[in-house]
Amino acid sequence: MVVEREIVFIVDEGDFYFIISEELAIYRILFICMGNICRSPLAEGLLLHHLKQRPLGRMVVVQSAGTGGWHVGNPPDPRSIDVALRHGIELTSRARKVDQSDFDSFDLLICMDDDNLRDLVDMGCPYDKIRTMMSYASYAGHAHVPDPYYGGPDGFDLMYRLLDSAVLGLLESLESHPDIGSR
């Protein structure tokens, strides 16, 4: 099953809403985890949340996908939804599996761990388009974002803290990017 999404990015600036179609974006980011129901949808939601508060948001399209197809079409894990809602973030995406067309469609593919990275490389993704999520984080002690799927609430809270730190670092990187941040 293929889940298609029409991407329309809505940015709230006071009394104005800017509606940006995917075709108008100048930079596209795809977050990758294993099943696309825990880590990558939360990273997607966090970045979209922070982008709404910045002019940069008018230029960036954000999506997420999984390396496996077990959950295609499903909403995020209820525990990811819960941790997001506790921080004022709504997760609305549906799980999908990454495919080779994503390697051309996205400028940056951000993996939650080394297994995700290896899967993308094995699929033929150009290595220069791949980064690990924690490479953007200021949160010490973690080289990757652990998968909380088989654990309890503490794992989802840790996932949120790690992703929030990394998303803020990613925003700094985007804002200093010569083709993006200067617009």
Single-letter residue type at 112: M
| Given 28, 33, 38, 96, the catalytic residue | 33
Annotation marks residue 39 as catalytic: yes
Q: For 113-126, how does the pLDDT look when each residue is reduced to its tens digit (9 = 90+)?
A: 999 999 999 999 99
Average pLDDT of the chain is 88
* Other Cβ atoms closer than 10 A to 68: 15
Closest CA to 135 of 117, 153, 148, 118: 117
Query: Which residue in 77, 113, 119, 147 is the catalytic one?
Result: 147
Are the C-beta atoms of 147 and 133 separated by less than 8 Å?
no
- Decide if 58 is catalytic: no
Catalytic residue (one of 28, 39, 79, 96): 39
Give the pLDDT confidence of 119-148 residue by residue, as tens digits. 999 999 999 999 999 999 987 789 999 999
For residue 33, indicate whether it is catalytic: yes
pLDDT beyond 50 at 7: no
CATH topology of domain 27-176: Rossmann fold (3.40.50)
